[in-house]
Amino acid sequence: MFEDELKEIERAGLLRKIKDRQSMAGPEIVIDGKRLINFSSNDYLSLASSPEVIRKAEKALIEQGLGAGASRLLSGGTQAHRALERLLCEFKSTESALLFNSGYAANTGVIPAITDSDTAIFSDELNHASIIDGCRLSRAEVYVYRHKDTEELKKLIGTSKKRRKVIVTDTVFSMDGDIAPLSELREIADQEGAILYIDDAHGTGVLGNGRGALTHFGMEPQENIIQMGTLSKAIGAFGAFVAANNSITKWLINTARSLIFSTALPPSVVEGAAEAVRIIMKHPERVKGLWKNRQHLIEGLHSLGIDTSPSETPIIPIRVKSNDSALKISSFLLNRGIYAPAIRPPTVPTPRIRVTVVYGHTMEHLQRLLDALLEAKKCGLL
Ligand SMILES: Cc1ncc(COP(=O)(O)O)c(C=O)c1O
């Protein structure tokens, strides 16, 4: 079954394969027995391998066991879940926070829960697949506006007669590394009486001294803003959360199907994530270190004549001519001990090497990437 279809995607250079890592997640990883410098991770603050985080998770594992055993609404919730939510309120300066099992589960659970058939959703064209799927699962009318085009958004939203309007955007776009124009989006939301739902998966722990995109823009949380953040990227764990006011989280507890009908996060993950959040709050130098590495790499790439636009964050796309050249460059880098994956359609509209820089990268790691890219340029690959 599916053999012909598989052959077809293989012919188009689009066959995906799962790689198995034989080491801990981190700036260096082992794949197929080979030690590689890892430029593919969203563990921006290198907290997945932090000894303090691991110690907390280990203690919870021993004291509370492996799985949560049930949904949060049955017996799966613990004081650890509640304590992490309180910490996330402090972290995001909101009245309330609610855990979800992943960013994917949050977007596919929350978007249908806050919308109905008398709702219009306005979604940026480069929003993450989980937002797209959340919109598909909703009964709302969905309007996709051109990437960051607030003029088009204004026109679309101004003509909608729906009772409820929801603007949905990634804060940091996951494949281009650019940042959504949140101040303008908030202005439009306020004028139109709309909800602004922001997916801060790649902003949490990265922007605004780690507090996220709202802090980055000097914005305060407000009633019509719902923030989604993940525990799976800069926080180095797994899971996600919504930070908003009390009535919204109360509504989600009663309506978000991915929360109601799914087993709660394991306590070890929750305790590990809480320690990671505490580290981010106590040690802003970690976030500064990430940005120092990003600056160094960007300057190096520009000195090689490599265009990194539109990146404004540790996600740096290096655009290439074709799917084939993306695969060739990725394997050229792999042969030089560097893991930087080729990202191709349909994940993105145009092929690229997606490089992510993290806190744990050393200057030597960054130089190795720059040297390999220079060599690739000399060989005519770039
Ligand atoms: C913008 C965005 N939202 C949501 C997700 C999904 O998060 P998770 O990996 O926790 O399911 C991702 C993950 O890649 C993402 O980039």
CA dist 23 → 30, 148, 294 (Å): 5, 38, 24
The fraction of the chain above a pLDDT of 90, given in percent, is 95
Ligand 1 atom at minimal distance to the Cα of residue 172: 1
Q: Is the pLDDT of residue 336 over 80?
A: yes
pLDDT at 28: 98
Per-residue model confidence (pLDDT) at position 12: 85
Summarize the confidence of residues 216-235 as an average pLDDT.
Answer: 98
Please count the residues of the chain.
382
Mean pLDDT of 349-353: 93
Residue 240 Cβ inside 6 Å of ligand 1? The answer reads: yes
How far apart are the CA of 165 and the centre of ligand 1, in A?
23
For the question of whether the overall pTM of this predicted structure is more than 0.85, the answer is yes
> Per-residue pLDDT tens for 234-273?
999 999 999 999 999 999 999 999 999 999 999 999 999 9
Task: Report the pLDDT value the prediction gives residue 231, as an integer from 0 to 100.
Answer: 98
Sheet holding 96-100, edge to edge: 96-100, 240-244, 225-230, 195-199, 164-170, 119-124, 141-145
Asked if residue 14 has pLDDT above 90, the reply is no
Mean pLDDT of the chain: 97
What CA–CA distance (Å, rounded) separates 224 from 248?
10
| Cβ–Cβ < 8 Å for 65, 80 | no
Asked if residue 44 has its Cβ within 6 Å of ligand 1, the reply is no
Q: Is the pLDDT higher at 311 or at 10? A: 311
Contacts of 200 (CB under 8 A, 6+ apart): 171, 172, 207, 212, 213, 214, 227, 228, 229, 230
**Residue 346's pLDDT band (boundaries 50, 70, 90)?**
confident
User: How far is the C-alpha of 134 from the C-alpha of 282, rounded, in Å?
Assistant: 34
Query: Tens of pLDDT along 110-145?
Result: 999 999 999 999 999 999 999 999 999 999 999 999
128 lines ligand 1 (CB under 6 A): yes
153-202 residue pLDDT tens: 999 999 999 999 999 999 999 999 999 999 999 999 999 999 999 999 99
pLDDT band at 347 (very low <50, low <70, confident <90, very high): confident
Residue 13 has pLDDT above 80, yes or no: no
Is the pLDDT score of 286 beyond 90? yes
Mean pLDDT value of segment 276-302: 98
Does residue 200 have its Cβ closer than 6 Å to ligand 1? no
Tokens 């079954």 identify what position?
A: 1
Position 316, amino acid: I
Higher-pLDDT residue of 346, 53: 53
For residue 199 and ligand 1, the question of a CB distance below 6 A is answered with yes
H or E segment and range at residue 167: strand 164-170
User: Could you tell which of 42, 232, 238 is best to mutate to test the pocket of ligand 1, judged by most ligand atoms within 8 Å of the CB?
Assistant: 232
- The answer on pLDDT for 218 being more than 80 is yes
Question: What phi and psi, each to the nearest 5 degrees, are found at residue 171?
Answer: -85, -50
Residues 183 and 254: their CA atoms lie apart, in Å, by: 31
Mean of the pLDDT values across residues 344-366?
95
Cβ-in-10-Å burial (0-12, 13-18, 19+) of 19 comes to: exposed
CA–chain centroid gap for 149, Å, is 21
Confidence label for 300 from pLDDT (cuts 50, 70 and 90): very high
Residues near 285 by beta carbon (within 8 Å), at least 6 away in sequence? none
**Longest Cα separation, the chain:** 61
Q: Which domains does the chain have, with CATH numbers?
A: 10-39+284-378 (3.90.1150.10), 51-282 (3.40.640.10)
